[in-house]
Amino acid sequence: MLRAGGVAWSAHRLDAAEVAGSNPARPTLIIAEKNDAAKRIAFALDRSYKKLSFDGIPVYTGLWNSIKIYVIPARGHLYTLKTDVGDLSLFPVLDVEWVPVADDKYVTKLLDVIKKFIKEASEIIIACDYDIEGETIGYNIVKYNGGFEKIVKRAKFSTLTVEELKQSFNSLLTREKWLMADAGRTRHYIDFIWGISLSRLLMNEVRQGTGKRLSLSIGRVQGPTLIEIYNRESEINSYVPKPYWKFKAIGELRGQEFELSGPSLKSVDEVERAKKLKGKYGKVVFFDKDIEEIKPPYPFNLSDLQKEAYRLFGIQPWESLSILEKLYLRALISYPRTSSQKLPPTINYRSILSKLGQRYKEAGNVSRPHPVEGPIDDPAHPAIYPTGELQPLTGSEYKLYDLVARRFISSFYRNVRVAKKYMKVKADGFDLEADGAAVIDKGWLEVYPFREIREKSIPDAAVGEEVLIKDVNVELTFTKPPSRYTPSSLLEWMETNEIGTKATRADIIKTLYKRGYIRGNRIEITELGFSVARYFSFSQIITLEMTRKLEKSLENIEFGKTYPGEILNESARFLIEELKNAKYSEEMVELTKKYLAAGTGQSLGKCPVCGKGDLVLHISQAGKRYLKCNVCGASAPLPRKGKLVSAKKSCSYCGWPLIKRGGWVFCPNPNCPSSKLKNA
């Protein structure tokens, strides 16, 4: 028996007592994605809504158009894919099914409550986030609880403001085909069969070669991403710098000194020739000046915003997504998982600008009736914009909100105007150049000051005029290896190469860190990551082209251009074929042995905190080593270098397992009384 607010309750009693008492019609069930969204929907539809609790599950109820409504929040995905093929040596795994998320009592209770409400409802509205994942969440809940025997509608909204929610529920979408759910479910299926099959292939190879069971995994999108990091690592490690000389000169014309840049010099002979220019005259062969108009930056889509947040504040892409979701759930900004760089007039520009004017005086100085927009559109949602609602914010939440608000206002602002000059001078066979820039109108930089325009003064000139070369400066320089990826630039690479989705890319990078394949903010590949990437790069099983092709096919499902069955068959056939061609790689096994020798992943003793788990050696993103219990999560820092092994003894002060590095035995517990004694 479920309980509501401490009162014994059943779905039958709810129907009779609550529904029939106020309205003979059967209620409408609304499924939201998260609790905050459910609350906002209930409030938008009935300001005097009530919160009920059924066995700890919150349900919001009220009246909407004289119909009783119940809004139930899901908690992300309540269903997941599972296989019964438990033998790890068997792959490919193609036999999978959707099941409720296992080992989660809350989900079990929640599904129980949902099932009862679906039974009583005459109509169900899926009000999860309007994208592939949101629709998959809602669709699975309805499908596996008998909901499609009822009328099922879809709510589409991009902000959780009262106004938009009301509008959305007054114009609900009816669906013949659930294409977004089809695309989402197919993506989950393909990712699952590829992930589990490739991971089993990897683990089998390592087990055959090393005799050790190492938990390894790789995914359809993680694979090419890891290979790209591996390629970059290889370029950096095999880099040979090339020497050249930077060539600068100081010119004088019409009484003004200014800087001239020459070509890169490749040899000492050229350097000697360049030095001899000092004191000679060159001739202006070209001069031009113009006013450059710089338009405001495009409204933010998710990846542009993630890149900007990393560039300006060092906020990691997955952190910014999590913060943006919070801001969305508080109705401060629109839905963040969007590719769009466009803002339709239906969002009511004037109203938002007027509300923002309370905090940003610049919102009153805009000069364009419509915003400057970028070329990318997203049929599901507009670009990210502030709703105009204002709440006190601090820290990273404030920084990201401020960025969104300023970017929005700036898109209505006048252009930045820069006076530019360009001069070309010929001197003793060398082509020298000079650029000048001066800002004459700050335009949108007044509200979005996160771009720098370097100002530089050069004189006006006429073709044929003589320029005195007052000084020459040559500097021996060496070319540099390509930069390491950062989480932000890797995200950009994934986007450019069209792998993953706007919603999943940041999490894929995070997973590579979690699995110990990469480390550091300037991303380095670990020995283990190197061996996995090398294996897949060598075997050509997961290529960028294949991943991109599958992404395209998945997109086509969403737009009704192809059917899930077709893609599933094609993908399964391809997987079987690829696995047949997989070659056993001794090199990977050797590298993995090295990795195992370094000790990562090994248990260094039993956890004294919970008494159940093992304290396992991990490497953090920053390359720091630490112990972490695989059951309770208790952790302790470790020395960064040296081989660590268990000393096979426990600390007599605190009971933590002692660790040995060379001849040094120490207790890793940071709170161990023995360390306090030493410090005293």
Partner 1 sequence: MSKSELPKQQAKKCLVCGSYSEEGLLCFKHRTAAKSLTEGYKYWKEAFNISFNEYLKEVRKRSETGTWVKEIIDYVITSNDFNILLETG
Among 407, 414, 534, 628, binds partner 1 (CB under 8 A): 534
Among 591, 604, 644, 647, binds partner 1 (CB under 8 A): 591
CA distances, 45 to each of 17, 64, 590 (Å): 22, 6, 63
Element (H, E) at 575: helix 564-581
Nearer to partner 1, 268 or 610 (CB): 268
Do strands 28-32 and 67-73 pair parallel, antiparallel, or not at all (unpaired)?
parallel
Element (H, E) at 404: helix 395-410
Assess 479 for contact with partner 1 (CB under 8 A).
yes
The b/e string for 641-672 (b: 16+ C-beta within 10 A; e otherwise) is eeebeebeeebeeeebbbbbeeeeebbbbeeb
Rounded Cα distance, 462 and 599, in Å = 70
| Total number of residues that touch partner 1 (CB under 8 A) | 26
Among 314, 481, 623, 637, binds partner 1 (CB under 8 A): 481
CA distances, 251 to each of 408, 561, 613, 627 (Å): 43, 63, 72, 62
User: Which residue from 294, 292, 290, 301 is spatially nearest to 413, judged by alpha carbons?
Assistant: 294
Nearer to partner 1, 54 or 517 (CB): 517
Assess 234 for contact with partner 1 (CB under 8 A).
yes
Element (H, E) at 430: strand 430-441
Among 52, 214, 236, 654, binds partner 1 (CB under 8 A): 236
- Could you tell me the two tokens for 301? 């889509």
538, 531 Cβ separation under 8 angstroms: no
Q: Which residue has the tokens 């450059």?
A: 292
Nearest approach, Cβ of residue 192 and partner 1 (Å):
32
| Residue range at the interface with partner 1 (CB under 8 A); choices 45-53, 235-243, 325-333, 446-454 | 235-243
Do strands 57-64 and 635-637 pair parallel, antiparallel, or not at all (unpaired)?
unpaired
Among 22, 170, 208, 237, binds partner 1 (CB under 8 A): 237
Among 13, 51, 561, 594, binds partner 1 (CB under 8 A): 594
Among 163, 293, 475, 586, binds partner 1 (CB under 8 A): 586
Nearer to partner 1, 86 or 478 (CB): 478
Nearest approach, Cβ of residue 212 and partner 1 (Å):
17
**Which distant-in-sequence residues (6+ apart) come within 8 Å of 350 by Cβ?**
none
Assess 212 for contact with partner 1 (CB under 8 A).
no
Nearest approach, Cβ of residue 481 and partner 1 (Å):
6
| Residue range at the interface with partner 1 (CB under 8 A); choices 122-130, 221-229, 442-450, 475-483 | 475-483
Nearer to partner 1, 266 or 311 (CB): 266
Q: At what angle do helices 179-210 and 132-143 cross, to 10 degrees?
A: 90
Amino acid making up residue 287: F
User: Which residue from 372, 442, 462 is spatially nearest to 408, judged by alpha carbons?
Assistant: 372
Nearest approach, Cβ of residue 660 and partner 1 (Å):
25
Assess 275 for contact with partner 1 (CB under 8 A).
no
The residues assigned a catalytic role are 335
Nearer to partner 1, 130 or 245 (CB): 245
Nearer to partner 1, 41 or 589 (CB): 589
Nearer to partner 1, 174 or 238 (CB): 238
Apex 350 CA angle, 371 and 448, nearest 5: 50
Rounded Cα distance, 32 and 550, in Å = 30
Nearest approach, Cβ of residue 526 and partner 1 (Å):
14
Q: Distance of alpha carbon 579 from its chain centroid, rounded?
A: 30
Nearest approach, Cβ of residue 489 and partner 1 (Å):
19
Residue 22 phi, psi dihedral angles, 5° rounding = -100, -35
Nearer to partner 1, 238 or 679 (CB): 238
Site string for partner 1, 536-565 (x = CB under 8 A): --x---------------------------
What residues does 62 pair with on adjacent strands? 69
Q: Which residue has the tokens 């092994």?
A: 645
Nearer to partner 1, 122 or 237 (CB): 237
User: Which residue from 608, 296, 591 is spatially nearest to 444, judged by alpha carbons?
Assistant: 296
Q: What is the CA radius of gyration of the chain?
A: 31
Assess 5 for contact with partner 1 (CB under 8 A).
no
DSSP 296: P
Assess 522 for contact with partner 1 (CB under 8 A).
no
Site string for partner 1, 239-258 (x = CB under 8 A): xxxxxx--------------
Among 22, 23, 170, 267, binds partner 1 (CB under 8 A): 267
Q: Which residue ranges make up the site for partner 1 (CB under 8 A)?
A: 234, 236-244, 266-268, 478-481, 534, 538, 585-587, 589-591, 594
